[in-house]
Chain A
Amino acid sequence: MTTPMTPGIQSGRLSADALSRNFEDLHAPLDAHEARVAADRCYFCHDAPCMTACPTSIDIPLFIRQIQTGTPEAAAKTILSQNILGGMCARVCPTETLCEEACVREEAEGKPVIIGQLQRYATDTLMAKGVHPFTRAAPTGKSIAVVGAGPAGLSCAHRLAMKGHDVTLYDGRAKAGGLNEYGIASYKSTNDFAAREVAWLLEIGGITVETGKMLGADLTLDALKSDHDAVFLAVGLGGVNALRIEGEDQAIAAVDFIEELRQSTDLTTLPVGRNVVVIGGGMTAVDAAVQSKLLGADTVTIAYRRSRAEMAASPFEQDLAAAKGVRLMFNVMPTAIADGTITLEYTATKDGKLSGTGETVTLPADQVFKAIGQTLTTDAGLKLEGGKIAVDAAGRTSLAGVWAGGDCATGGEDLTVTAVAEGRDAAEDIHAAVMGA
């Protein structure tokens, strides 16, 4: 029988029962009573700091008051009118560094109003009723291409459809959803939520989804430009940064592992190492590490080359990893992968530059994941900046008629909620432009 101790990369380390328990919702949804109690803590702040901290500027005091007064559907409309993926954002936003960090009750008592969970309560309530609360304006006769059906693309497409435009939403993969569908840890989006949310979003009408169409392979920017009145690019970051060390070929991209896990219909068939090492310090590293542990790996280590304070994953994510039994190592960088081991060299920062100290440590590692950042795979002939498509505040690229947003473009953090804001704002600018305002 396979157990966490079985050497090598094996499936079925845990029973089906244990696995389904492990991959349950990270936070169980609030019931109506819990939501009321939580909503009662909101002070209905003036010019609320939480709202300023939300990249999509959701009117948080208003929606929480709507929950408090027994109208969660009205609360959902408040949320969704600013952030059409409010349901997913409620699950995946690092609220501890966004709205909840800014909440005045964090300052007052060290315990913020649980804004994310309340947002989920409201949006889940509305979606469970099968209501799509938005309608389309009169047809404009304009056609817009949105390339990439992740958060930025979906948000842009919905806003454009609402304005009365016809939208063709292209995506290279088999399913729409982007990172929501393929890139988010399973326990943050259970019960196929990403796909259900996409289906619900499309109920607005006017959006034609064409999957299996990849920019660069099946689509060209020139053709898109000539077939449509405007183009919005939200192609994400398809490439993975390399470790550039000996044994690189034995390291797997963490994003591929997460994707495989998300698409798996039977986790007992998904193999994982006995001793797993994840290289990196962001949310992807944490997601890969935690899920390895939940799949039954015996030891999982995150190896990050800088200090804890510099880690991109928030303290909440770090604690989550630690609580699940992941070991966090700081100030180490990989130098070689060989024969089921990985060698790490300690690092130190001198005059602002990071370098190895020469001292090393070797860990058993039958599976190594790299999570040191992703890269743009196609520039489509556009001007780049720091490896991303350069855009202005309205999402305009260097080419007239072409907008871009989400992780592939400059501006903001690489977060779902930021992508939603960028897609929405680009849609407003596209609308103004094509209507000749």
Chain B
Amino acid sequence: MADLTTNFLGITSPNPFWLASAPPTDKEYNVRRAYEAGWGGVVWKTLGSEGPPVVNVSGPRYGAIWGADRRLLGLNNIELITDRPLQTNLEEITRVKKDYPDRALIVSLMVPCDEDSWKAILPMVEETGADGIELNFGCPHGMAERGMGAAVGQVPEYIQMVTEWCKKYYSKPVIVKLTPNITDIRNPARAAKAGGADAVSLINTINSITSVDLDLMAPQPTIGGKGTHGGYCGPAVKPIAMNMVAEIARDPQTAGLPISGIGGVTTWRDAAEFMALGAGNVQVCTAAMTYGFKVVQEMISGLSEWMDDKGYTSTADFIGKATPNVTDWQYLDLNYVTKAKIDPDACIKCGRCYIACEDTSHQAILMKEGRVFEVDDSECVACNLCVDVCPVEDCITMVELPKGELDERTGRKRGDYANWTTHPNNPSAQAAE
């Protein structure tokens, strides 16, 4: 069995699966259970400054969207940082770290944007023996209105400044957690790096309204007839999170900056995908909140099976392996040709590929006598919508046209690699020679 031991910023954990800072990591009781269940690390629920803690709403905190069979696909929340006293949390962190020295324990922090506040809290955190800190610059609701969380995370200069303070008053690794609620994720990542951050973690939750109560005429969750935007997470945010991870991983200015991947990780495969794009480990919240801590068992077994299959002996073998293959659209090979192919034996004759192509795409699927579906290569543009709407896995596949073969749609033979930068239709094309 593959060794899942992961070294992230010099912090080793038995596997790359950490629990993200959130309710599952809000207190000693939960964290002990998480470690017992097999989680490699935990980012403690965000702590605030000393003094009266924040107060949460006592009405519903979550909104949700579901797929078939009411499977939770997306969750949003209007919860704030920990609402328990700082000292209680610090004592618990100290105890837990002592009992689980082989597991990663990171303390998430969010205090006001002035040096004194950071100077005050960091030594206390240092004393707990935790392995590092994570700066929560992402919380999109409640805290931003107090000049914290996303309010800081959206201003690169502040990120750099706070990171510098942390490096000054704290000796262990500093991870900056990024908010996705910005236009270009590379800017805050660059600022974190400039401030001396050891790593970035992303994403925090996305501003969202998941649903509207059509009787109350108010967003959900509804508190006394009103609602507010919350932070979106769960499987639905994974594509957004992965793009942001990849953007940072392939940005020359931040290349090599360690990344902790967060957002929608639900299975071993999600984790492998994040890591292939450049994340050194992953953090999980919604999957644990949906299924309990036991889900990590499937993540552990799945990842090691896959690593064994591929001959990877350590996670370092595949971390970032897909990063070089993330490129800009303009560099894609415009001479690469595939055609959809329907396996008649696997086909259950639902006709969804046909109607999708007929109504909304390129009229390239023929519906023949007896509900036999066939691709018309002379019309197929290879968009693969049919593959995506087919309910049967691998029933429709995209088959590559070998070089030199005729593409019946264009009437041209497949040529060598050529991209948009040299394409004749591109007004700013450079000559190929």
Question: Given A43-B391, A107-B349, A108-B348, A49 and B69 touching (CB < 8 A)?
Answer: no
By beta carbon, the residue of chain B nearest A36 is B70
Contact residue among A40, A43, A45 (Cβ-Cβ distance under 8 Å from B69): A40
Interfacial chain B residues near A49, Cβ < 8 Å: 349, 371
Q: How far is the CB of B42 from chain A (nearest CB, A)?
A: 35
Task: Tell yes or no: A37 within 8 A of B by CB.
Answer: yes
Give me the interface of A with B, judged by CB distance under 8 Å.
Answer: 36-37, 40-41, 43-49, 104-105, 107-108
Interfacial chain A residues near B144, Cβ < 8 Å: none
Interface centre among B68, B69, B70, B348 (most CB of A within 10 A): B348
Q: Mark B336-356, 1 if CB is under 8 A from A, else 0.
A: 000000000000111110110
Contact residue among A37, A41, A47, A107 (Cβ-Cβ distance under 8 Å from B348): A107
Q: How far is the CB of B275 from chain A (nearest CB, A)?
A: 33
What separation, in Å, do the CA atoms of A206 and B391 have in the docked complex? 47
Top 7 nearest A-B pairs by Cβ distance?
Answer: A46-B351, A46-B355, A40-B68, A45-B350, A104-B348, A108-B348, A104-B350
Interfacial chain A residues near B70, Cβ < 8 Å: 36-37, 40
Interfacial chain B residues near A44, Cβ < 8 Å: 352
- Contact B355–A37 (Cβ < 8 Å): no
Which residues of B33-84 are within 8 A (CB) of A? 68-70
Question: Given A108-B391, A108-B392, A46 and B69 touching (CB < 8 A)?
Answer: no
- Contact A37–B354 (Cβ < 8 Å): no
Which residues of B353-392 are within 8 A (CB) of A? 354-355, 367, 371, 391-392
Beyond contacts A49-B371, A107-B349: 13 other A-B pairs, Cβ-Cβ < 8 A, are: A36-B70, A37-B70, A43-B350, A45-B350, A46-B352, A46-B354, A47-B367, A104-B348, A104-B349, A104-B350, A107-B348, A108-B348, A108-B392
Which residues of B382-417 are within 8 A (CB) of A? 391-392
Interface residue count for B (Cβ, 8 Å)? 14
Contact residue among A36, A37, A40, A46 (Cβ-Cβ distance under 8 Å from B350): A46
What separation, in Å, do the CA atoms of A47 and B354 have in the docked complex? 10
Q: How far is the CB of B362 from chain A (nearest CB, A)?
A: 16
What separation, in Å, do the CA atoms of A168 and B2 have in the docked complex? 81
By beta carbon, the residue of chain A nearest B390 is A43
Interfacial chain B residues near A107, Cβ < 8 Å: 348-349
What separation, in Å, do the CA atoms of A48 and B348 have in the docked complex? 12
What separation, in Å, do the CA atoms of A104 and B354 have in the docked complex? 15
By beta carbon, the residue of chain A nearest B371 is A49
What separation, in Å, do the CA atoms of A41 and B70 have in the docked complex? 12
By beta carbon, the residue of chain A nearest B392 is A108
- Contact A45–B392 (Cβ < 8 Å): no
By beta carbon, the residue of chain B nearest A47 is B351
By beta carbon, the residue of chain B nearest A40 is B68
Contact residue among B352, B354, B367, B371 (Cβ-Cβ distance under 8 Å from A43): B352
Interfacial chain A residues near B367, Cβ < 8 Å: 47
Interfacial chain B residues near A46, Cβ < 8 Å: 350-352, 354-355
Q: List 8 A-B contacts (CB under 8 A).
A: A36-B70, A37-B70, A43-B350, A45-B349, A46-B354, A104-B348, A107-B348, A107-B349
Q: How far is the CB of A66 from chain B (nearest CB, A)?
A: 16
Interfacial chain A residues near B352, Cβ < 8 Å: 43-46
Q: How far is the CB of B45 from chain A (nearest CB, A)?
A: 34
Q: How far is the CB of A59 from chain B (nearest CB, A)?
A: 14
Q: How far is the CB of A107 from chain B (nearest CB, A)?
A: 5
Interface centre among A41, A46, A105, A107 (most CB of B within 10 A): A46
By beta carbon, the residue of chain B nearest A52 is B371
What separation, in Å, do the CA atoms of A104 and B353 have in the docked complex? 14
Interfacial chain A residues near B348, Cβ < 8 Å: 104-105, 107-108
By beta carbon, the residue of chain B nearest A105 is B348
Q: Mark B3-42, 1 if CB is under 8 A from A, else 0.
A: 0000000000000000000000000000000000000000
By beta carbon, the residue of chain A nearest B346 is A108
What separation, in Å, do the CA atoms of A125 and B351 have in the docked complex? 30
Interfacial chain B residues near A40, Cβ < 8 Å: 68-70
By beta carbon, the residue of chain B nearest A45 is B350
- Contact B351–A45 (Cβ < 8 Å): yes
What separation, in Å, do the CA atoms of A40 and B66 have in the docked complex? 11
Interfacial chain A residues near B371, Cβ < 8 Å: 47, 49
Interfacial chain B residues near A105, Cβ < 8 Å: 348
Which residues of B94-138 are within 8 A (CB) of A? none
What separation, in Å, do the CA atoms of A125 and B390 have in the docked complex? 32
What separation, in Å, do the CA atoms of A394 and B299 have in the docked complex? 63
What separation, in Å, do the CA atoms of A46 and B367 have in the docked complex? 10
Q: How far is the CB of B238 from chain A (nearest CB, A)?
A: 22
By beta carbon, the residue of chain B nearest A43 is B350
Interfacial chain A residues near B351, Cβ < 8 Å: 45-48
What separation, in Å, do the CA atoms of A105 and B352 have in the docked complex? 13
Interfacial chain B residues near A43, Cβ < 8 Å: 350, 352, 391
- Contact A37–B349 (Cβ < 8 Å): no
Interfacial chain B residues near A48, Cβ < 8 Å: 351
By beta carbon, the residue of chain A nearest B389 is A43
